[in-house]
Amino acid sequence: MKDIMTAPFMTEAVRTVTNMYNHGWDERNGGNVSIMLDESELRDYLDMSVIREIPTGFGAPSLDGRCFLVTGTGKYFKNVRYDPERNLGIIRVSDSGRTAQLLWGYSDGGKFTSELPAHLMSHAARLEINPANRVVMHCHPANLLAMTYIHSLDSREFTRTLWQMCTECIVVFPDGVNVLPWMLCGTNEIGEATAEMMKTARLVVWSQHGIYGCGADLDETFGLIETAEKAAEIYLKIAHLPRLNTIKDSELRQLAEHFNVEPRRGYLDD
Ligand code: 2HA
Ligand code: ZN
C-alpha cells in the first residue's frame, strides 16, 4: 500500500483548502469541500475496509457506491495541513445515500461537514449535466457576501453586475451565478435548493452566507470562486461612486464570441 498522504488527490486537497484559508474565505470552521474519487484512484492507498458507518439523514440514490474526500464538521481549514487525517475523511456512499461508510480519516471520531446534503445533492445534480464534475466547494468570501446586502438578489441582475466588473468574468463563468435568498444552512432544504440551482450554473450564491462552486477539478472550482469574488470586490469599490463607464452588452457579446463561450440565455440585453 502506498502512503495516502502522497496521493495526488490528497496533496491537492490539502493545498487547496490551505489556499482557501489564506484567501480569508474560511474563517474558523467556515467552508467545506467534497471531491469525488474513483475507487481505482483509492485502491493503491486504502484496503477499502469500512472503519464505521455514519447516517447521512438524506437520500442520494444516484451516488450509491461513489467515494468522496470530504472536510470534517467543525474542523478549521487552517489546521488541515497539520493533521489531514483528523480534519478530512474519505467516505463511500451506500444505502441509497442514507449511509456514509468511513474508509479513512475523521480520526478523532468526527464526521463529514454539516453541509453534506448540499454537497452530495449538488454532485448528483451536476453529474447529470456534466459527467466529468468531481468537486463541490463552499466558502465565505467577504466581497460576494457583502454584495448580497446591497445588490438585487435576482440571479440575472447579480450575474450581469459581476460580468460588468472584469473583462474575464463572462469568459470564466458564461453560465453566470444563481442566487439563493437567505435560508437556514446545514439542512436538506438548502441542499435541495442549491442542487436545483446547480443545474443551470456552476456558482450558487448563498445570500448573507457565502458561495458554492462546482467543477471538474479543484483548480476549475477554485478559479470560478476566485474570479467571481474579484468581480464582487471591484463592485464594492465602485458601488457608491458615479459609474462613468462599463462593459456594454455588445462588448460582452464580442468577448463570448471571441473566446467561444455561450453566455447564459437571456442574460444579455438585445
Ligand atoms: O461548515 O460553512 O455553512 C461551516 C459552514 C456551514
Ligand atoms: Zn458556510
Alpha carbons 261 and 242: distance in angstroms, whole number: 31
Q: What is the pLDDT of residue 270?
A: 77
C-alpha cell at 228: 467571481
Condensed to tens digits (0 to 9), the pLDDT of residues 121-159 reads 999 999 999 999 999 999 999 999 999 999 999 999 999
Structure confidence at residue 224 as a pLDDT band (50, 70, 90): very high
pLDDT of residue 33: 99
Ligand nearest to C-alpha 145: 2
Q: CA-to-CA distance for 204 and 212, rounded, in angstroms?
A: 5
Percent of the chain clearing pLDDT 90 (strictly above):
100
- Average pLDDT in the 189-208 region? 98
For residue 9, the 8-state DSSP code is H
- The preferred substitution site among 34, 185, 189 for testing ligand 1, maximizing ligand atoms within 8 Å of CB, is 185
Element (H, E) at 74: none
CA nearest to 105, candidates 137, 71, 61, 145: 71
pLDDT at 255: 98
State the distance from the centre of ligand 2 to the C-alpha of 209, rounded, in angstroms.
Answer: 6
Is the pTM here over 0.85, yes or no? yes
Confidence band, pLDDT 50/70/90 cuts, at residue 238: very high
Helix locations, the chain, DSSP H = 8-22, 39-42, 77-80, 84-87, 116-129, 142-150, 155-165, 169-172, 188-198, 218-238, 249-258
Rg of the chain taking only CA atoms, in angstroms: 19
Which of 34, 87, 113 most suits a substitution to test ligand 1, by most atoms within 8 Å of the C-beta? Answer: 113
Cα 107 to Cα 111: distance, rounded to the nearest angstrom: 9
| Rounded Cα distance, 198 and 34, in Å | 15
Q: How far apart are CA 96 and CA 133, in angstroms?
A: 20
Distance in Å, CA 181 to ligand 2 centroid: 14
User: For position 85, what pLDDT does the model report?
Assistant: 98
State yes or no: pLDDT of 17 exceeds 80: yes
- 4, 112, 232, 236, 268 from 117: Cα distances, Å: 26, 10, 27, 32, 33
**Which atom of ligand 1 is nearest to 32's Cα?**
1
Ligand nearest the Cα of residue 31 is 1
Residue 115 bears catalytic tag: yes
pLDDT at 171 over 90: yes
**Bridge-based pairing state of the strands 203-206 and 177-180:** parallel
Tell me the domains of the chain and their CATH numbers: 1-114 (3.40.225.10), 115-270 (3.40.225.10)
CA-to-CA distance for 118 and 106, rounded, in angstroms? 20
Residue 255's contacts (CB-CB under 8 Å, 6 or more residues apart) are: 167, 170, 171
Query: Which of the following is catalytic: 27, 115, 196, 251?
Result: 115
Average pLDDT, the chain: 98
